[in-house]
Amino acid sequence: MSSADSGGDDLSSLSGFFFYVFIVHPATAWILRPGRFERKKAIVYAIGFLAALAAIKTGLEIEAKGPNHYSLLDVTRNSNPLEIKRAYKRLSLSLHPDKNPDPAATEKFHQVKSAYDVLMDLELREVYNKFGDEGIKANKRFDETQFFIELAVFYITWATMAFVLTLGKKSGDARQWIFTGLIVMLVSEIAIMTSGTNPIPVSAFPRTVEFEYVWLLHALFPAFMNGCRSMGSYLYVDLDDQARRLLLALQEQNKDILLVLRDVQINVQTLQSNSAVVQGGHRLANAAGGPQLTSMSQSAPPQQYVTPTGKLKDLQAKLMASNSNVTNAVQQLKQDGGKNTNMGFYAMIIAYFAFSYYFN
């Protein structure tokens, strides 16, 4: 691209970038806000909104650019010089200032004459197909080395911005989608620009040329990128957050169980104290000459057994250890979740201006 063309494309990309980031993305996030619409309806509404907005914006830009030379002369990419000459003769007779009183006829006539001169020259025609009017004005020719350098600058810049915009766990899927789209766009642009002839069949788009396909890809990418950001964040399932909630619920459950165990332990200790008082009374009565109670258990050796209070204390200790582990796990998840910051967004803005300033 020429310097003028590059500057215009950079300005258009920059304005489109800010338009999607600061207007379209917040509007899409509003549509996808949880609880506003049903999940399926929210996805459909968001995709429809993004597609409609991208179509309207791109359509207005295409209309502002005006028809290309083929559309202006009403010929196709396969038209031979004789067909082009006939189309020019027909239009020039109707648009010539001496025969057409319309004030805009003079400008239209010059446009038709310029289109005719370009399409009749096979070398200029090839330059126009790949680089447009700016390539003609700059007398540009296709240079493979220069082409790949400009391609690398463009895609590295966008890949850097996409990476910075998708920092964080919620944007992992969106980052993959965006990079996949970048790769598809890169392969398509290389195939379009390096092929000897236009790879798009004439029967499908008879008047659309290479530079228009590349421009369309570049114009639609900001909409695609911000759509991926919005949908990726909406469809993301935070497994760490779910685990955190589960651990918090388990922690609260352990606390409730510990409270119940303390009550049970107090009740058991109370019952044991009352039982000891009763047994002490019986021993006093026997010492005073009461009947002697004998049983097989008196003659048997003492056995080691776990008291109810000891068992409760053991269970309480295990629950407290479990509660401590749950607390540590929750704290670790909170620390991991707090590592993401919004500084990446501001770094992306600075990086974009730095790249644009340096390479222009």
Q: 225-262, pLDDT tens digit by residue?
A: 888 888 888 888 777 777 777 777 777 777 767 777 77
Q: Is 23 helix (H, G, I), strand (E, B) or coil?
A: helix
* Per-residue confidence (pLDDT) for residue 4, from 0 to 100: 39
Question: In the prediction, which pLDDT does 309 show?
Answer: 62
Average pLDDT over residues 145-153: 91
pLDDT band at 278 (very low <50, low <70, confident <90, very high): low
CA distances from 201 to 159, 160, 197, 311 (A): 30, 34, 10, 83
Under 8 Å between Cβ of 182 and 158: yes
Q: Which two tokens stand for residue 313?
A: 């204390």
Q: Using alpha carbons, select from 132, 108, 119, 111 the residue that is nearest to residue 4.
A: 132
The model's pLDDT over 32-48, given as tens digits with 9 standing for 90+, comes to: 888 888 888 888 998 89
pLDDT tens-place string over residues 186-232: 999 999 998 877 788 888 889 999 999 999 999 889 889 888 888 88
Res 294: pLDDT: 45
Instruction: Look at residue 357 and tell me whether its pLDDT is greater than 70.
Output: no
**Residue 352 to residue 12: CA distance in whole angstroms:** 14
Average pLDDT over residues 120-127: 92
Which token pair is 62?
């295409």
Q: Compute the Cα dihedral for 189, 193, 197, 203 and give only its sign.
A: positive
Domain segments of the chain as ranges: 238-265+309-346
Q: What are phi and psi of 341, to 5 degrees?
A: -130, 170
Confidence of residue 72 (pLDDT cuts 50, 70, 90): very high
Contact 223, 53 (CB under 8 A): yes
> In a 10 Å sphere around its CB, with 0-12 CB exposed, 13-18 middle and 19+ buried, how is residue 268 labelled?
middle
Helices 81-95, 105-120: crossing angle, 10 deg rounding: 170
Q: What is the mean pLDDT of residues 326-349?
A: 56
More confident call, 272 vs 176: 176
Q: Report residue 306 CA to chain centroid gap.
A: 61
Give the pLDDT band of residue 144 (cuts 50, 70, 90). Answer: confident
- Which pLDDT belongs to residue 12? 56
Stretch 326-341: mean pLDDT = 57
In tens, the pLDDT along 106-117 reads 888 889 999 999
- Tens of pLDDT, residue by residue over 288-315, are 555 554 444 444 444 444 566 666 666 6
Q: What is the mean pLDDT of the chain?
A: 77
Q: Which of 227, 285, 277 is nearest to 20 (CA)?
A: 227
Q: Is the pTM of this model over 0.75?
A: no
